[in-house]
Amino acid sequence: MFNIKNLFNFKKTKSGQAFSSLAEDYMGVIDRYQATIQFELDGTIRTANKNFLEALGYSLDEIVGKHHSMFVYKRFSQSKEYEDMWRDLSAGKSFSSQFPRVTKDGSVVWIQATYAPCLDKNENVESVIKIATNVTQRREGIQDIAKALDQLRDGNLAYRIQLSEVPDLKLVGEAFNQALEHLASVVSEVKSVAETVKLTANEVGQASTDLAHRTETQAATLEETAAAVEELTGTVKASAKSANEVEKSANEAIATARNGGKVVGDAIGAMAEIKKSSDRISHVIKIIDDIAFQTNLLALNAGVEAARAGDAGRGFAVVASEVRTLAVRSAESASEIRGLINDSSVHVSHGVGLVTRAGEELDLIITGISAIHSHISGIASAATEQSTALGEINAGVSQLDSMTQQNAAMVEESTAASQLLANDAEKLSKYVFSFKTENTYENRNSFATNDNQVQAQVIGAKRAS
């Protein structure tokens, strides 16, 4: 328990004069540097020193005989806590804490004070003394630091501590302000970067979305192209197969035409032989005709001679007449055969001409078929090459289609990633922009301006028994 007597707890062997001298020295130090006030046990003011009077703005005459409650808020002076405080002090208890006190002009000062009972020689409580120090500046500095920390908690990096005249608090304020300056600079840079990341992420997301649409369109087009190329490949293969079959047929046609040309040649030879035979037959018919003519002459002469012979030559005349008749018939038959042979010769000559022309036409046909065969061979070769090339193109398009599908999947993943990045950038921007970084100062609020705050301070004061 705090006892002011302990401040002067000298040994009993000390002389009264020495005790008084030391006590005066101690009290002089306290009086010069501390604010002191003395009360009756009921709280009535006995006296106060200059430091106390200056701190609260009163003169000694204005406070002596008045109650301590003039320095506290009315609500607190009427509270049970206030009543208990004076009862405990009267019982010999002491209190040390910080207290708000109302000055003459109504403003509030904060004091670091100790209320202690003063004991008489019989160890009875005779009065109460308060020794205090004005800690308003320190209190305000601490409150300002607390407010600055609250502002920092709320993301306000623009708040700056008004530097206290208390050296250690001034040092803390300077360090805090410098830290906030640096933090505000960093946050400003982060804001800029976050905004850039946000814009970039949105642009990347938009580009990824556009790329996804284009990739999907390209994939669909490639799929259709692959199907068309595959169908075209099948058609070209069928065309190549047909061209090969046509080439084979052309080869067969050339062979047939050449065989026909050979047959025509043989027919022309046969016609020539027939013509030769007809010429020989005509020659033989001419000889037969000549023989018939001579036979007719001989039969005529024989008839004349038989007539001259009379009855003796009558039989011979009959024979001669028959021979003449046969000769005439032979001549007529030979004439008819000659006509037929001549007609046959004409027909054979015409047939030879036709067969010759047929041979020439067959040669032209063979030439044409050969040219067609050459072209068809070229077409078949080109179709085969096209089929091979289209097969390679089809494979390439299929591979490109597969790669495009993979690209589409990757673009979807990229789009999703860019969307996540945009969302994260939005969150980062939201968090970063919750900090206020403008370099502005805010005025401090007044401290402890209501009864509830004062009451809380007193209730929370440390009590020492």
The mean per-residue pLDDT over the stretch 343-354 comes to 77
Label residue 327 by pLDDT band (50, 70, 90): confident
Percent above pLDDT 90 for the chain: 24
What pLDDT score does 19 carry?
Answer: 53
What are the angstrom distances between the C-alpha of 171 and each of 164, 265, 440?
9, 131, 21
Which structural domains are found in the chain, ordered by start?
A: 4-136+450-464 (3.30.450.20), 219-425 (1.10.287.950)
Q: Which of 29-43, 176-190, 318-332 has the highest mean pLDDT?
A: 29-43
Would the pLDDT of 346 be above 70? yes
The mean per-residue pLDDT over the stretch 235-239 comes to 79
Would the pLDDT of 46 be above 60? yes
What pLDDT score does 235 carry?
Answer: 84
Rounded to an integer, what distance in angstroms lies between the CA atom of residue 455 and that of residue 83? 13
Would the pLDDT of 461 be above 60? no
Which of the two residues, 439 and 344, has the higher pLDDT score?
Answer: 344
Which of the two residues, 295 and 145, has the higher pLDDT score?
Answer: 145
Would the pLDDT of 455 be above 70? no
What pLDDT score does 2 carry?
Answer: 35
Label residue 74 by pLDDT band (50, 70, 90): very high
The mean per-residue pLDDT over the stretch 317-332 comes to 78
| Contact of 323 with 302, CB cutoff 8 Å | yes
Would the pLDDT of 447 be above 60? no
Would the pLDDT of 418 be above 80? no
Structure tokens at 9: 């707890």
Residues 6+ apart with CB under 8 A from 95: 85, 88, 89, 114, 115, 461, 462, 463, 464
Rounded to an integer, what distance in angstroms lies between the CA atom of residue 200 and that of residue 135? 54
Rounded to an integer, what distance in angstroms lies between the CA atom of residue 70 and that of residue 37? 13
DSSP state of 97: E
| Full-model pTM | 0.51
The mean per-residue pLDDT over the stretch 255-265 comes to 78
Rounded to an integer, what distance in angstroms lies between the CA atom of residue 303 and that of residue 455? 196
Would the pLDDT of 460 be above 70? no
Beta bridge partners of 269: none
DSSP state of 106: S
Structure tokens at 419: 């969307």
DSSP string, 398-455: HHHHHHHHHHHHHHHHHHHHHHHHHHHHHHHHHHHTTSB------PPPPSS-SHHHHH
Per-residue model confidence as pLDDT tens digits over 98-110:
999 999 999 999 9
